[in-house]
C-alpha cells in the first residue's frame, strides 16, 4: 500500500478560496490566498491585511522570490546554478558560484557539523543510486553503495564565502539541497512578503509551513499533524505564531523490496534510507532550520536527535514517530500543541 504524504493541514477555516477572494466584509480584514505549483509541490500563500491590492502584490512578490531561488537551488532543473555546479563537480576542483549559493552551502557545512553528519548536502551520489532503484525496482548492491559513499562526506566539500568559491576534493561528487532548499526558499519568500508591510501571513509549501504574526483577532495559526500510517488520524494540533514547522518521513518517496522499506531520506553513515524513524515534525523559529532538522532527526532518531536539539538548537522542538509507531516528544514540543492533544 502506498501511503499519502504526511501533510500539515490547516484546520482553521480560511476565508479565501484559491486565488483572490474579492468582496471581503467591509468591517473585516482583507484576505488574499493563492496556490501555485512551484518547487515540485503546491505552494499556498495566505495573507491578511487592510488592503486587498497590497496583499495581492505581496503574494506575487513572494511567489516570484520562490521562482527566483528555485532557479538557483533546484537539482531537477538542468539550467539551475546547482545543476550546472554538479556537472563541474564531477571532475573535482574549485569553482566560482554566486554569493547566494556560496552562502547556503556554507550554512549546510555548519549544519552538517552541528548534526554530527546526519544532515549532509554531499549525498547527491547516494540520492542518485536510490532514485535509480525506485525507478528500476532493483536493490542497489553493496558495491554500488560503497562506490557512492566514496564520493560523499562534508569533509570533501569546502566553501570560501569571501571569494564565492566551492571546492570538491573528490571527483564524482554532487550536491543535493533537498533537505534544506524548500525551507530556505519559503523563509526568504516570507521576508519578501513582510517587506511589503504584511505581518499576518502563512506559506504552506507541500506541508512545510512558515507562519508570521497571528490571524485577525489574535488567533494563532492552527495546523494538524497526520498519522503517517493512518492519514485520517490527526495525531496533534499545533498553534503557531512567528514560527515554522516541517515534516519529513518515509511516506512520500521510498524504495520497497522483500518487505524492507528504504526511505528517500539517506543516512549518510550507512548509505541506506533512514531507519530510526517513520516521521519527524520539527517546529523552529525559521523554516530553514525546521526543514534541515526534520531531515537530520529522521536519521538520528529520538535519543540522538533530542540530544542534538538540546545542545545546538535549543529553540527547535520535535515530534518523532519510530517504526514501532511510538510518539516521542522533545521537552518543548507540547507547549505548541492545542490543549486537547497534550
Task: Report if pTM > 0.85.
Answer: yes
pLDDT at position 14 is 34
Q: Pick from 243, 279, 247, 234: which is nearest to 261 by CA?
A: 279
The pLDDT value given to residue 250: 65
pLDDT for 249? 79
Question: What pLDDT shows up at residue 87?
Answer: 97
For the chain, the structural domain boundaries read: 87-168
Give the contacts of 136 (CB within 8 A, at least 6 positions apart).
none
Segments of the chain scoring below 50 in pLDDT:
1-25, 254-255, 257-258
Name every residue whose Cβ is closer than 8 Å to that of residue 63 and which is 6 or more positions away in sequence. Answer: 34, 36, 38, 43, 45, 189
Report how far residue 144's alpha carbon sits from residue 126's, in angstroms, rounded to the nearest whole number.
9
Q: Does domain 87-168 have CATH number 1.10.3980.10?
A: yes
Q: What is the pLDDT of residue 52?
A: 95
What is the maximal distance between C-alpha atoms in the chain?
67
Residue with grid cell 524513524, as numbered in its chain: 277
- What pLDDT does 82 receive? 98
pLDDT value at residue 27: 57
Residue 275: predicted pLDDT:
87
- Provide the β-strand partners of residue 221: 240
- Cα distance from N-terminal residue to C-terminal residue, the chain: 31
Q: What separation in angstroms does the CA of 300 have from each of 61, 121, 248, 270?
A: 37, 16, 13, 12
pLDDT at 230: 82
pLDDT at 198: 98
Amino acid at each position: 500500500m502506498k501511503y499519502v504524504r504526511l501533510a500539515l493541514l490547516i484546520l482553521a477555516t480560511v476565508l479565501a478560496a484559491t486565488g483572490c477572494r474579492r468582496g471581503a466584509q467591509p468591517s473585516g480584514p482583507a484576505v488574499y490566498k493563492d496556490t501555485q505549483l512551484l518547487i515540485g509541490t503546491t505552494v499556498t500563500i495566505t495573507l491578511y491585511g487592510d488592503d486587498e491590492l497590497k496583499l495581492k502584490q505581496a503574494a506575487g512578490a513572494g511567489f516570484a522570490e520562490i521562482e527566483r531561488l528555485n532557479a538557483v537551488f533546484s537539482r531537477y532543473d538542468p539550467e539551475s546554478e546547482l545543476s550546472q555546479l554538479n556537472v563541474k563537480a564531477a571532475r573535482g576542483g574549485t569553482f566560482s558560484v554566486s554569493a547566494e549559493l556560496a552562502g547556503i552551502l556554507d550554512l549546510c557545512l555548519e549544519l552538517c557539523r552541528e548534526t554530527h553528519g546526519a544532515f549532509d548536502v554531499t549525498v547527491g551520489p547516494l540520492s542518485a543510486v536510490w532514485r535509480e532503484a525506485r525507478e528500476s525496482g532493483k536493490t542497489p548492491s553493496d558495491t554500488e553503495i560503497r562506490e557512492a559513499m566514496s564520493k560523499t562526506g562534508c569533509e570533501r566539500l569546502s566553501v570560501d564565502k569571501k571569494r564565492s568559491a566551492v571546492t570538491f576534493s573528490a571527483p564524482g561528487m554532487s550536491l543535493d539541497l533537498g533537505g534544506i532548499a524548500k525551507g530556505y526558499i519559503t523563509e526568504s519568500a516570507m521576508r519578501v512578503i513582510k517587506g511589503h508591510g504584511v505581518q499576518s501571513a502563512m506559506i504552506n509549501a507541500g506541508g512545510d509551513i512558515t507562519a508570521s504574526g497571528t490571524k485577525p483577532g489574535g488567533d494563532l495559526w492552527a495546523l494538524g499533524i497526520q498519522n503517517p500510517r493512518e492519514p485520517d488520524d490527526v495525531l496533534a494540533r499545533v498553534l503557531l505564531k512567528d514560527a515554522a514547522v516541517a515534516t519529513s518521513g518515509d511516506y512520500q518517496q521510498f524504495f520497497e523490496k522483500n518487505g524492507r522499506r528504504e526511505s528517500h531520506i539517506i543516512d549518510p553513515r550507512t548509505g541506506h534510507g533512514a531507519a530510526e524513524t517513520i516521521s519527524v515534525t520539527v517546529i523552529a523559529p525559521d523554516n530553514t532550520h525546521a526543514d534541515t532538522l526534520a531531515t537530520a532527526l529522521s536519521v538520528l532518531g529520538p535519543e540522538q536527535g533530542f540530544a542534538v536539539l538540546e545542545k545546538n538548537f535549543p529553540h527547535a522542538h520535535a515530534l518523532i514517530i519510530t517504526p514501532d509507531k511510538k510518539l516521542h516528544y522533545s521537552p518543548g514540543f507540547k507547549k505548541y500543541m492545542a490543549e486537547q492533544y497534550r
